[in-house]
Amino acid sequence: MRVRVSDVRKWVGREEHLTLLESWPDSLHERLDAATIDEPAQVNVRLRNVSNGLVVEVSGQARVHLTCARCLEPAETGVQFAESQEFREEAGPKDEALAYERFSGDHIVLDTLIADAVALEIPLAPLCSSTCRGLCPQCGANWNQTSCTCQEPADPRWDALKVWNAKNSPRSDQ
């Protein structure tokens, strides 16, 4: 995904707004791993010519399909993203020490900026619903759909208390 900057480059203070409607960058698909994202991407772009370079702001919404972290059934989530980055026309390879990115020519490629902006908003532990009850840790039953007769596993944190109670309870034979 890229934008033409030959006009906005002409003078400081110039600003342009546009909307990109095309496929998401490959680098985003790679970062989403097993999750999928609805196509096409619709990304709002604002370009501003500041004194030393161009500030690019990207924003938009996306619908992502993932797997529920509790019950492993499909889950989907809407994400809103917004990110900005300064670009300066300079030669040379990417330099991590700089707060801005470099570009040359009439276009700026936005793949990395957009992929980062969207990936940052993907929940680490997505849920199919906020009330998802998850799977039984013993038999694997999906507690959203069924119940099971497994016993609640004993909580080892209470064991010490049981020992203490046994020691301190009054003897009935005294």
Contact between 104 and Zn ion by CB under 5 A: the answer reads: no
Applying CB under 5 A, the span of 3-11, 30-38, 101-109, 144-152 interacting with Zn ion comes to 144-152
CA-nearest of 134, 138, 116 to 125 is 134
Closest CB to Zn ion among 66 and 68? 68
Burial of 116 (0-12, 13-18, 19+ CB in 10 A): middle
Q: How far apart are CA 128 and CA 76, in angstroms?
A: 7
**Quick one: which of 50, 82, 148, 163 contacts Zn ion (CB under 5 A)?**
148
Closest CB to Zn ion among 21 and 139? 139
Q: How far apart are CA 43 and CA 80, in angstroms?
A: 11
Chain positions 2 to 61 lying near Zn ion, rule: CB under 5 A, are none
Binding site for Zn ion (CB under 5 A): 68, 70-71, 128, 132, 136, 138-139, 141, 148, 150
